[in-house]
């Protein structure tokens, strides 16, 4: 196997025997071959599209397949075997794309050995380390981000033909011969499609659930048994809240589900009582002490401990071998009665964390409502700098850097965040500036669009370009949604982004040079050195 898609990849170069995340060689091979057949679907889809035909099944299928291969989403061989069979059926139902189709359009594995052999071939090409392999990886990983965000928007009924056709065009490009220049353009275009997709998801979420309001979320526990929901899927949450209303159970969020408390539609459920625990790397201990069932809707799931293996459930694209899965069509009705029944026999959660409330819900609408106060505070010099510290959390102790960086920021700096990176500093006492929280949490990584809107509004208010604003970027990445957000920022023309804890292994020296020269991307270093660079004393 060869996988280097996440920040924690082995030795900073690539996982070759087993993933640091727990991905086995078998799963890696199944994921790689599923994507390979999706590339075949894409080639045929593009050809069909060019001759005016459309296939409605192909796009949602490819989006879900890409999403399932994102880090920490699905570790279930049965899921991938079924998807590979479905992929072949979808591909083969599309008209052939001419006589010289790439192998991805024709390949049919006869058995597991065929899959393993093809996986080895794919891994060999991916590990080449040249600029073309790097650009292809960057594009596919960016597409995984697009696919994840699009999956959620589509689940709420928001689709977009432009996003779908780009997904196919870009995937198809990775099995045809394009010049590095043309590939670079596609990679940057992927960032633009990322912005469109994030905007679509924002519309889907806010139309369905209302605009998030700045909200203080309890982290203490109640006396009743509870259900813990994690991941990013708001529709799953909605159905769970409906099905648990009046049952005497409490519902808590974990990790990336925390910002759901800020939506007006979810505030009306009195049994939706708070957030339990922190970000995904802590789930081993926290799921254990939660005592009740846990519903994992998307990333990040890590190999479950025996202590809670029989009370963890996956749904949607998430999966883990041996873990119960709640089925349901994409965006359709789901039956969580098994989880509800189990919760009724559980004991209440054991308290965790420092019990401090967490503030979230600072989406674009909520921040624009206080924009006058923010702009005044900037003019008066009370706010001197905004630092975007969005992105992911991770396992390694080196991520303490982000806690220390947040603590070391001058009191006149505001953190703008989204994603699970915030758990490194969102329970610190960082205070307020004139009633404005010093950590402006726009929500999940899925809500990064809000940060773009906020930056654009500030740029307009001060009559400057986005790079002239007093905003610095110190972004923490882990998985491929963060890779897409980075491409989205580059597409918007944002310069001088600091990225860490390590730069992506899939960026070759040649491509890194382009990113450094054209966009000023830099790795993070020490808190002191980065503070001097990112938050200069005026
Ligand atoms: Fe390794 Fe990350 Fe790939 Fe898992 S997702 S196999 S940790 S590079
Ligand atoms: Fe987190 Fe997995 Fe990236 Fe959604 S939940 S930001 S890592």
Confidence band, pLDDT 50/70/90 cuts, at residue 56: confident
Is 8 a pocket residue for ligand 2 (Cβ < 6 Å)?
no
Is 300 a pocket residue for ligand 2 (Cβ < 6 Å)?
yes
Q: What is the mean pLDDT of residues 318-334?
A: 93
- The pLDDT of residue 54 is above 90: no
Atom of ligand 2 nearest to the CA of 300: 2
Residue owning the nearest CA to atom 5 of ligand 1? 71
Please classify residue 526 by burial: count the beta carbons closer than 10 Å to its beta carbon, then call 0-12 exposed, 13-18 middle and 19+ buried.
exposed
DSSP state of 391: B
- The pLDDT of residue 45 is above 70: yes
Is 256 a pocket residue for ligand 2 (Cβ < 6 Å)?
yes
* Residues in contact with 532: Cβ distance below 8 Å, sequence separation at least 6, in sequence order: none
* Residues in contact with 307: Cβ distance below 8 Å, sequence separation at least 6, in sequence order: 288
Q: What is the mean pLDDT of residues 494-503?
A: 97
Q: Could you tell me the distance, in angstroms and rounded to a whole number, from the CA of residue 165 to the centre of ligand 1?
A: 28
Is 7 a pocket residue for ligand 2 (Cβ < 6 Å)?
no
Q: Could you tell me the distance, in angstroms and rounded to a whole number, from the CA of residue 149 to the centre of ligand 1?
A: 20
Q: Could you tell me the distance, in angstroms and rounded to a whole number, from the CA of residue 225 to the centre of ligand 2?
A: 27
Minimal CA–CA distance to 212: which of 262, 256, 259, 257?
Answer: 262
- The pLDDT of residue 323 is above 90: yes
Confidence band, pLDDT 50/70/90 cuts, at residue 536: confident
- The pLDDT of residue 63 is above 70: yes
C-alpha to C-alpha distances, 377 to 382, 464, 529, nearest whole angstrom: 5, 17, 27
User: In this prediction, what percent of the chain has a pLDDT beyond 70?
Assistant: 100
Residue written as token pair 């001419």 = 98
Q: What is the mean pLDDT of residues 215-227?
A: 98
User: Minimum mean pLDDT among 72-81, 170-179, 210-219: which range?
Assistant: 170-179
**Mutation pick for ligand 1 pocket among 1, 2, 8, 503 (CB with most ligand atoms within 8 Å):** 8
Minimal CA–CA distance to 39: which of 103, 86, 95?
Answer: 103
Q: Could you tell me the distance, in angstroms and rounded to a whole number, from the CA of residue 93 to the centre of ligand 2?
A: 35
Q: What is the mean pLDDT of residues 363-376?
A: 96
Q: Residues 161-187: pLDDT tens digits?
A: 999 999 999 999 999 888 889 999 999
Q: Could you tell me the distance, in angstroms and rounded to a whole number, from the CA of residue 408 to the centre of ligand 1?
A: 32
Is 392 a pocket residue for ligand 2 (Cβ < 6 Å)?
yes
Give DSSP secondary structure letters for 437-496: ESEEE--SGGGHHHHHHHHHHHHHHHT--GGGSSEEEEEE--SHHHHHHHHHHHHTT---
The pair of structure tokens assigned to 504 is 């992506």
Atom of ligand 1 nearest to the CA of 22: 4
Q: Could you tell me the distance, in angstroms and rounded to a whole number, from the CA of residue 247 to the centre of ligand 2?
A: 31
Q: Residues 442-492: pLDDT tens digits?
A: 999 999 999 999 999 999 999 999 999 999 999 999 999 999 999 999 999
- The pLDDT of residue 537 is above 80: no
Residue owning the nearest CA to atom 6 of ligand 1? 19
- Residue 299 CA to residue 290 CA, distance in Å, equals 19
On average, the pLDDT of the chain sits at: 96
Pocket of ligand 1 (CB under 6 A): 3-6, 8-9, 15, 19-21, 23, 71
Three-state DSSP string of 241-282: HHHHCCCCCEEEECHHHHHHHHCHHHHCCCCEEEECCCCHHH
The pair of structure tokens assigned to 469 is 């604003």
More confident residue, 11 or 50: 11
- Residue 484 CA to residue 198 CA, distance in Å, equals 10
Q: Could you tell me the distance, in angstroms and rounded to a whole number, from the CA of residue 18 to the centre of ligand 1?
A: 8
Is 154 a pocket residue for ligand 2 (Cβ < 6 Å)?
no
- Residue 165 CA to residue 511 CA, distance in Å, equals 26
Q: Could you tell me the distance, in angstroms and rounded to a whole number, from the CA of residue 62 to the centre of ligand 2?
A: 21
Q: How many helices (H) and strands (E) does the chain have?
A: 19, 18
Atom of ligand 1 nearest to the CA of 72: 5
Q: What is the mean pLDDT of residues 24-45?
A: 98
- The pLDDT of residue 538 is above 70: no
């Amino acid at each position: 196997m060869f996988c280097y898609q996440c920040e924690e990849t082995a030795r900073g170069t690539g996982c070759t025997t087993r993933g640091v995340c727990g991905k086995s060689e078998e799963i890696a091979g199944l994921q790689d071959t599923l994507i390979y057949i999706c590339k075949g679907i894409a080639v045929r889809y593009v050809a069909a599209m060019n001759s005016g035909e459309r296939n409605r099944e192909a796009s949602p299928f490819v989006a879900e397949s890409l999403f399932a291969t994102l880090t920490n989403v699905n570790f279930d061989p049965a899921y991938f075997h079924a998807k590979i069979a479905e992929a072949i059926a979808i591909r083969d139902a599309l008209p052939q794309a001419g006589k010289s189709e790439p192998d991805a359009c024709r390949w049919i594995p006869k058995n597991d050995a065929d899959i393993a052999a093809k996986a080895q071939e794919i891994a060999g090409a991916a590990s080449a380390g040249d600029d073309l392999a790097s650009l292809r990886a960057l594009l596919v990983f960016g597409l995984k981000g697009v696919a994840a965000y699009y999956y959620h928007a589509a689940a709420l009924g928001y689709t977009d033909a432009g996003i779908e056709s780009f997904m196919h065009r870009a995937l198809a490009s990775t099995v045809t011969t394009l010049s590095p220049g043309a590939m670079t353009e596609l990679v940057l275009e992927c960032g633009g499609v990322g912005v469109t997709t994030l905007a679509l998801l924002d519309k889907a979420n806010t139309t369905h659930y209302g605009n998030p309001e700045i909200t203080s979320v309890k982290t203490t526990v109640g006396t009743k048994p509870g259900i813990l929901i994690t991941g990013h899927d708001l529709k799953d949450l909605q159905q769970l809240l409906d099905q648990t209303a009046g049952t005497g159970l409490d519902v808590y969020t974990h990790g990336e589900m925390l910002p759901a408390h800020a939506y007006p539609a979810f505030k009306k459920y009195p049994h939706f009582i708070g957030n339990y625990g922190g970000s995904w790397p802590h789930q081993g201990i926290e799921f254990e002490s939660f005592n009740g069932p846990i519903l994992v809707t998307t990333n990040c799931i890590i190999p479950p401990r025996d202590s809670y293996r029989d009370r963890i459930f996956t749904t949607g694209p998430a999966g883990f071998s041996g873990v119960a899965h709640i089925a349901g069509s994409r965006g359709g009705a789901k039956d969580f009665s098994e989880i509800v029944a189990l919760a009724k026999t559980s004991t209440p959660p054991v308290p965790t964390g420092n019990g401090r409330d967490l503030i979230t819900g600072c989406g674009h609408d909520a921040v624009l409502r206080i924009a006058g106060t923010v702009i005044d505070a900037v003019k008066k010099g009370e706010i001197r700098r905004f630092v975007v510290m969005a992105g992911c959390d991770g396992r390694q102790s080196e991520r303490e850097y982000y806690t220390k960086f947040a603590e070391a920021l001058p009191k006149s700096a505001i953190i703008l965040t989204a994603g699970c990176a915030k758990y490194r500093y969102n329970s610190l006492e960082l205070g307020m500036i004139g009633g404005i929280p010093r950590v402006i949490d726009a929500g999940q990584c899925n809500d990064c669009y809000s940060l773009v809107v906020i930056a654009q509004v500030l740029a307009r208010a001060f009559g400057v370009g986005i790079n002239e604003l007093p905003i610095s970027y110190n972004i923490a990445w882990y998985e491929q949604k963060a890779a897409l957000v980075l491409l989205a920022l580059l597409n918007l023309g944002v310069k001088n982004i600091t990225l860490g804890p390590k730069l992506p292994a899939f960026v070759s020296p040649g491509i890194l040079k382009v990113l450094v020269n054209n966009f000023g991307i830099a790795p993070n270093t020490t808190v002191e050195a980065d503070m001097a660079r990112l938050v200069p004393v005026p």
